Amino acid sequence: MSLKAMYNDIADNYLIANRFGAISQSHQTAIEQMKNFCLGIKPHYKVLDLGVGDGTFLKKLQLIMPQAEFTGIDVSSEMLKRARDALSLITIEGSAAQANKFLPPHSQDLILAHFINAYIPINVLFNEAKLLTRANGHFSMITTTYDSFPVAQQCLAEFISTGSILSSVVGHYYKSIVKNTTVAANNDELMLAFKQNQFEVIAHQRLEIPITLNTIDELAHFGIEGTWFLNTLSIRMLPKTFLIQRLKRLFSKIFTFPYHDTHIIDVVLARK
C-alpha cells in the first residue's frame, strides 16, 4: 500500500478510532484550552493545522475563531477534499514534515499537531512549529505516549518473558519499534521536549479514557483499523487483510477477554 493510499484509507476510520471518545474528548479539551487563553480574537488570526484530516477540528475551532484564516496540510487528497467541503480554508497537499517549504517563516499565530506524532517524529513537529509560528505564537499538540494502554503493554511483556521462539521474535521487534518510535516515551519526556524547543507549556490535560473490548475481532477492529496499536508507518503500509489476519493470530496468544485498558492522551497548549 502506498503512503497516500494508506492515509486515504485512514480517512474512513474516524468512527472506529473515536469509539471510546478519544478524538472528540481530546478536541474539546484543546478548544477549551484555547478559549481560556482567548486565542483567535484578533482579525486575520492565522491557524495552520499540520494534519488537517477531514477538517473536523477546524470546523469546531471556527465557532470560537470566526475571523481566523485557516490553512490545512495533509498528504491525503481525500481528506483535503472533505476538509474543503466542511469549511473555508487553504489546503496544501503535502507532508507536515515539510510545511515550511509551503509557507513563509514566522507567519502563523497558532499551529496544530493533533494525532500526527505517531506518523511524524516529535522533533520534526517542533522544528516546523518553531519555523512557522510568530513571536509569542502558540502550538497545540495532542498525542499519545508509551504510557498509553498499560494493560496491553503488561500483557505483551508477560508474553515476551515466556521465552518461546515466537515471543523472542516479538520481543526483538517490539524493542526495535520502541527504539525508533516517533512519540515520547512518557509524560516527563514529552514535557522536556517542549522545554528543549523553547515552548512554554501554559495548559496541559492528560485524559485517561477507559476502554473495554470483548472479542479478538473488536480488538483488531479498534487497534488495527482504528490505528491505535500501530505506531510505525512500515506496519501500517502492509496490505490490510494480511495485517489483520496475522495480528489477530498473535493477539489471541497475548490477550484475554474481556480486555480492559486505559487510553491515555496528552492535550498540550504552549506559547513560543
pLDDT digits (tens, 9 = 90+) for 138-167: 999 999 999 999 999 999 999 999 999 999
Our count of domains for the chain comes to 1
Higher pLDDT, 241 or 97: 97
Name the residue among 186, 153, 149 with its Cα closest to residue 171.
Answer: 153
Query: What is the distance between the alpha carbons of residues 204 and 175, in angstroms, rounded to a whole number?
Result: 29
For residue 141, the model assigns a pLDDT of 99
Residue 235 pLDDT: 47
**Model pTM?**
0.91
Rounded average pLDDT over 83-89: 97
| 3: pLDDT strictly greater than 60 | no
CATH, residue 196: 3.40.50.150
Q: Residue 169: its pLDDT value, please?
A: 85
- In this structure, the dihedral spanned by the alpha carbons of residues 62, 206, 36 and 103, taken in order and rounded to 10 degrees, is -50
Model confidence at 237: pLDDT above 60 = no
Least confident segment among 2-6, 16-20, 101-105 = 2-6
Does 23 or 179 have the greater pLDDT score?
23
Instruction: For residues 92-108, give the mean pLDDT.
Output: 97
How confident is the model at residue 234, as a pLDDT?
A: 42
Range of the domain at 224: 3-271
